[in-house]
Amino acid sequence: MVKNENFIMQAKESKTLQELNLTDDFLFDVTTEELENCKAIIELTTGLRLKSLKWKSGQKVIHNLPGKRGVRLDFIAESEDGRIFDVEMQNRNEGNIPKRTRFYQALIDAPILKSGERGFDKMNPLYIIIICNYDPYGKKKYCYTFDNQCKEVPGLRLGDEVTKLLLSTKGENEEEVSKELVDFLHYVTESNENGLPDECDERLKRLHESIREIKASADMEVEYMKMEERERIIRDEGKQIGIINGKIESVLELLEDKGEVPEKVKAEIFAETDPEVLKKWLRLAAKSETIEEFCKEIDH
191 & 160 share domain? yes
Distance of alpha carbon 65 from alpha carbon 51, whole angstroms: 35
* C-alpha dist (Å) from residue 138 to 9, 143, 181: 26, 12, 18
129 & 55 share domain? yes
Predicted TM-score (pTM) of the model is 0.72
Domain membership of residue 8 (yes or no) is no
Name the phi and psi angles at 190, rounded to 5: -145, 75
Domain membership of residue 9 (yes or no) is no
Domain membership of residue 221 (yes or no) is no
Domain membership of residue 11 (yes or no) is no
Domain membership of residue 70 (yes or no) is yes
Give start and end residues of each alpha helix (H) in the chain: 2-12, 25-31, 35-46, 97-109, 179-189, 202-216, 218-256, 263-271, 275-287, 291-298
Domain membership of residue 47 (yes or no) is yes
Distance of alpha carbon 7 from alpha carbon 282, whole angstroms: 24
Which is nearest to 71 in space by CA: 42, 97, 32?
Answer: 97
42 & 168 share domain? yes
Quote the Cα angle for 153-156-162, to 5°. 140
Taking the chain (300 residues) in runs of 10, the rounded mean pLDDT of each run is 40 78 93 93 96 71 55 84 94 90 90 82 94 96 96 94 97 96 97 94 97 94 84 72 84 86 86 82 84 78
211 & 239 share domain? no
pLDDT given at position 276 = 81
50 & 197 share domain? yes
269 & 126 share domain? no
180 & 48 share domain? yes
Domain stops at, among 168, 190, 216: 216
235 & 194 share domain? no
117 & 168 share domain? yes
Q: How many domains does the chain have?
A: 2
Segments forming the whole domain that contains residue 248: 227-298
Domain membership of residue 133 (yes or no) is yes
Domain stops at, among 181, 216, 251: 216
pLDDT given at position 204 = 97
50 & 145 share domain? yes
152 & 188 share domain? yes
